[in-house]
Chain A
């Protein structure tokens, strides 16, 4: 079932937290709401599940307008950031709670709790209480509780934020598996771009209560709409270089970097300011567009090495390369940029 948010606005007292937000999540799709902390992701999620009301705008599940519907009636499954398990109930009672308040028979609840516990792989924990579970186990129980009554949509608020690194990797695949197995329409709220890119079909990237871009992860990575999106996606982050247009090229003030303009930008007037976005993987020793600089920092990441190189005018370019380059800190090098992969942003930060 698809989710359609139209012109959603949310205020707390006088502060507008979300302004005129529209978003459609397709049936069976997993959409990431990605953005820095405080941008309004949780607020949006809470409004979709009915915990917060819409100040303006409409919300549709399929063709049904659920804007004014109480959360009890929306049939959404939610995994809260803190998991929000009921501390006085056992795991089985936690998972069965949505069915219990719906008045299902005990045998039916029992049967479904068992199969939900199988699905999230915690069948042996049913008699424990939340206080006796590890973070990952609580996570699975919260998922089972959210999924047990076959909700129309599944909402998850930073589901991996409270887990340690190893567990986070496991749960990433686990959540994706469950979502695909059940075919449920899902929204994943996260501030972690890796999570968003690796788990979701599409990403809606948010900033200060607005959606900046909605796209598939690869598209968004390759063709970010503006500098914010470009900077938010990718680790190590993209390099920004301030340049000006000079007869078919754009170059930095002191000509330390000079990149030919692609065909579509040839018409730009001389002197126009452009910001170049160069991802670190496109700064390599072999690439065409050459520049010289000095290595100021090397970080080994195992399979790859990360280099900071400072140009004459103080510009720092970051490069990530497979292990093997025989250079050290302080060495002067002449490396290159692949010009086809350079992103061009105008004065206002919009990609050209």
Chain B
């Protein structure tokens, strides 16, 4: 490789590292987690195989595992097996009793310890004392309930020993159900696409993006850009600075101000109460008021970028063109409609695409203000993924499911990017003449 090529790599290295560490690696990890059922319950390291009441109730009605087997697993049995007999022989029991028990009851299974005790009482050489009978019967008590097995082989052996031969499919299903660690699965996605709550969240997300984008990031930005264009320059720069403040103030402080505005003893109530409006926390008062705040909070931040881009696009229009339109008889509105707006098509498209993607993935302002509430009325997709995977009140953090939600966002975002890239290229191809001269 030539020196220049190495030099090129050298210059690219920091950017490459950055992309790999902060973009590719998280995406790859998210992609991986999305196909696991990791959660607080499974832990993120390995697990054991254990039949619990929960596993049994989950298996009920399963096609793979026969119902009698499931029932058996849930019970405690007494089995007169060689293990038990050996233990008995070791114990402090009469040899004749041991021999008779092996002879009469060897290999039999009893549904409960009590039944076995009854059978022992019928033996000729049974111990005298009831306590000894009980002790002998205890040695044959068998159960797989709540016993940990380190490997699937141990587990299978124990089940077979307990319940007799089990078909392979049943054993696999059983092992999967009994595993307490995480495992690879595609269940997250079927769950995700069938979840009515997530349907609502998706609708919320679309509404949130559409409303913020049209009302503020483009709409209000356009109004600001055009009005400040017609203002005297000193006033114009004052207004632009004012509208830049939400963007440059720290998010926590900014949202706190909004909360102060909205809460029970806040500014809104202080103003409205004398007018006879009952006090309330406006941010959580109703679905409408919560959305209003969420959109205002995000919109005031988002409008400034559009304002700046559109302002400079308007100022890039050569003065003579605006003069020409004035002497051609175009009033201010016609000037905006026929001269300014057509020149803003490209920047508007850019803002729309950029802001769609950024609104899709950013949720910090919602998290800090309503946190998705009241209830989950303002829960958007990115926030829901965060809640599912990293913070929720139930305490069971579902890393895998949350990652699946995040992955959907990533895939959707990439797809949108391609659509927008196509749009931009398309524009370049058509070659609408840019402002010249």
Assembled-state Cα–Cα distance A100/B325 (Å): 11
Across the interface, do B436 and A131 meet the contact criterion of CB distance under 8 Å? Answer: yes
Query: Within residues 305 to 332 of chain B, which ones have a CB less than 8 A from any CB in chain A?
Result: 318, 320-321, 323-331
Q: Chain B CB within 10 Å — which of A51, A72, A81 has the most?
A: A72
- Asked whether, in the complex, the Cβ of A97 is within 8 Å of the Cβ of B338, the reply is yes
Chain B residues with Cβ below 8 Å from A145 are 324, 328
B294-302, B406-414, B427-435: which one contacts chain A?
A: B427-435
The reply to whether A46 and B433 form a contact with Cβ atoms under 8 Å apart is no
Residue pair A97, B327 in contact (C-beta under 8 Å): no
B432 touches A88 (CB 8 A): yes
| Residue A80 interfacial (CB < 8 Å) | yes
**Beta-carbon contact of B435 and A46 below 8 Å:** no
A82/B326 contact (C-beta < 8 A), A101-B338, A131-B433 known = no
A86, chain B: closest CB distance, angstroms: 6
Please name all residues of chain A whose beta carbon is closer than 8 Å to the beta carbon of B342 when the two chains form the complex.
88-89
Q: Mark A67-81, 1 if CB is under 8 A from B, else 0.
A: 000111010111011
Assembly CA distance A81 to B342 (angstroms): 23
Q: A72–B324 contact, CB under 8 A? A: no
Report if B211 contacts A (CB, 8 A).
no
Residue from A84, A89, A129 within 8 A of B323 (CB atoms): A84
Q: Which residues of B contact A129 (CB under 8 A)?
A: 433
> Taking the complex as formed, is B233 at the interface, i.e. its CB lies under 8 A from any CB of chain A?
no
Would B433 and A87 count as touching, CB distance under 8 A? yes
Choose among B324, B329, B331 the residue that contacts A84 (Cβ–Cβ < 8 A).
B324
A101-B329 in contact given A84-B324, A86-B339 (Cβ < 8 Å)? yes
Interface string of A220-241 (1 = CB under 8 A from B): 0000000000000000000000
Given contacts A78-B324, A80-B320, A101-B334, contact A149 B329 (CB under 8 A): yes
A49 on the B face (CB < 8 A): yes
Q: Considering only CB atoms, which chain B residue lies closest to A145 in the complex?
A: B328
Q: How large is the interface on A (under 10, 10 to 19, 20 to 34, 35 or more residues)?
A: 20 to 34
Residues of A within 8 A of B432 (CB): 88
Distance from A224 Cβ to chain B, minimum over Cβ atoms (Å): 33
Q: Does A217 contact B (CB under 8 A)?
A: no
Complex CA gap A82/B321 in Å reads 9
Give A138's nearest chain B residue, CB to CB: B437
Q: Does B204 contact A (CB under 8 A)?
A: no
Within 8 A of A (CB), among B241-281: none
Tell me how far the C-beta of A135 lies from the nearest C-beta in chain B, rounded to whole angstroms.
11
**Which residues on A sit within 8 Å (CB–CB) of B330?**
72, 97, 101
Given the interface pairs A86-B339, A87-B435, A88-B342, the reply to whether A97 lies near B326 with Cβ below 8 Å is no
The smallest C-beta distance from A81 to any residue of chain B, in angstroms, reads 7
Q: With A86-B339, A131-B433 known to touch, is A101 a contact of B320 (CB < 8 Å)? A: no
A159 within 8 A of B: no
Contact in complex: B327, A50 (CB < 8 Å): yes
Contact of B318 among A77, A82, A101 (CB under 8 A): A82
Q: Which residues of chain A have C-beta atoms less than 8 A from B343's C-beta?
A: 88
Which residues of the other chain, A, contact B323 by a CB distance below 8 angstroms?
46, 49, 51, 71, 78, 80, 84
A130 beta carbon closer than 8 Å to chain B = yes
| With known contacts A82-B318, A88-B342, A72–B437 Cβ distance under 8 A | no
Are A97 and B325 touching (Cβ within 8 A)? yes
Interface check A102, CB cutoff 8 A: yes
A86:B327 contact, CB within 8 angstroms? no
The answer to whether A82 touches B320 (Cβ under 8 A) is yes
Q: Are A101 and B433 in contact (CB under 8 A)?
A: no
Across the interface, do A86 and B329 meet the contact criterion of CB distance under 8 Å?
no
* Contact residues in B for A84 (Cβ distance below 8 Å): 318, 320-321, 323-324
Q: Which residue of A lies closest to B333 (CB)?
A: A101
A89 to B328, CA, bound (A): 14
A 118-152 binary contact with B (CB < 8 Å = 1; else 0): 00000000000111100000000000010001000
CB distance from A236 to the nearest CB of B (A): 34
Residue of B nearest to A148 (CB): B328
Contacts A84-B318, A84-B321, A88-B433 known; A51 to B327 CB distance under 8 Å? yes
Q: Is the CB of A98 within 8 A of B433?
A: no
CB nearest to B321 among chain A residues: A84
List A contacts of B329 (CB < 8 A).
72, 98, 101-102, 149
Does the CB pair B328–A87 fall under 8 Å?
A: no
Within 8 A of A (CB), among B394-437: 432-437
Q: Within the assembled complex, what's the spacing in Å between the Cα atoms of A98 and B434?
A: 22
Q: Is B327 within 8 A of A78, CB to CB?
A: yes
Task: Give the residues from 32 to 90 in chain A that come closer than 8 angstroms, CB to CB, to chain B.
Answer: 46, 49-51, 70-72, 74, 76-78, 80-82, 84-89
Q: Determine the chain A residues whose CB is within 8 A of the CB of B338 once the complex forms.
A: 86, 97, 100-101
Query: A129 CA to B436 CA in the complex, in Å?
Result: 12
Query: Once the chains bind, are A81 and B339 in contact (CB under 8 Å)?
Result: no
B325 neighbours in A (Cβ, 8 Å): 86, 97, 101
**Closest chain A CB from B345 CB (angstroms):** 8
CA distance A130 to B318 in the complex (A): 14
- With the chains together, A129 CA to B327 CA distance in Å? 21
Chain A: CB-nearest residue to B331:
A72
Query: Is the beta-carbon distance between B334 and A87 smaller than 8 angstroms?
Result: no
Could you tell me if A72 and B433 are in contact, using CB atoms closer than 8 angstroms? no
Q: Are A82 and B437 in contact (CB under 8 A)?
A: yes
Q: Which residues of A contact B328 (CB under 8 A)?
A: 97-98, 101, 145
Residues of B within 8 A of A80 (CB): 320, 323-324
Q: Which residues of chain B are near A82, meaning CB under 8 Å?
A: 318, 320, 437
Q: Mark B338-378, 1 if CB is under 8 A from A, else 0.
A: 11001100000000000000000000000000000000000
Closest chain B residue to A80, Cβ basis: B320
CB distance from A8 to the nearest CB of B (A): 18
Distance from A316 Cβ to chain B, minimum over Cβ atoms (Å): 42
Chain A residues, Cβ within 8 Å of B334: 101
Please give me the residue from chain A that is nearest to B324 by CB atom. Answer: A84
Q: Which residues on A sit within 8 Å (CB–CB) of B434?
A: 87
Flag if B327 contacts A76 (CB, 8 Å): yes
Q: Smallest CB-CB separation from B320: which chain A residue?
A: A84
Residues of the A chain whose Cβ atoms lie less than 8 Å from the Cβ of B324: 78, 80, 84-86, 145
The contact sample of 15 A-B pairs, CB cut-off 8 A, is: A51-B327, A70-B326, A71-B323, A78-B323, A78-B327, A84-B321, A86-B325, A87-B436, A88-B342, A89-B342, A101-B329, A101-B338, A102-B329, A131-B436, A145-B328
Which 8 pairs from chain A and chain B are nearest by CB? A131-B433, A84-B320, A84-B324, A98-B328, A80-B320, A88-B342, A101-B330, A71-B326
Binding site for A on B (CB under 8 A): 318, 320-321, 323-331, 334, 338-339, 342-343, 432-437
Give the B-binding residues of A (Cβ under 8 A). Answer: 46, 49-51, 70-72, 74, 76-78, 80-82, 84-89, 97-98, 100-102, 129-132, 145, 149
Extra 4 A-B pairs, beta carbons < 8 Å, given A101-B325, A101-B334 = A46-B323, A88-B432, A101-B329, A102-B329
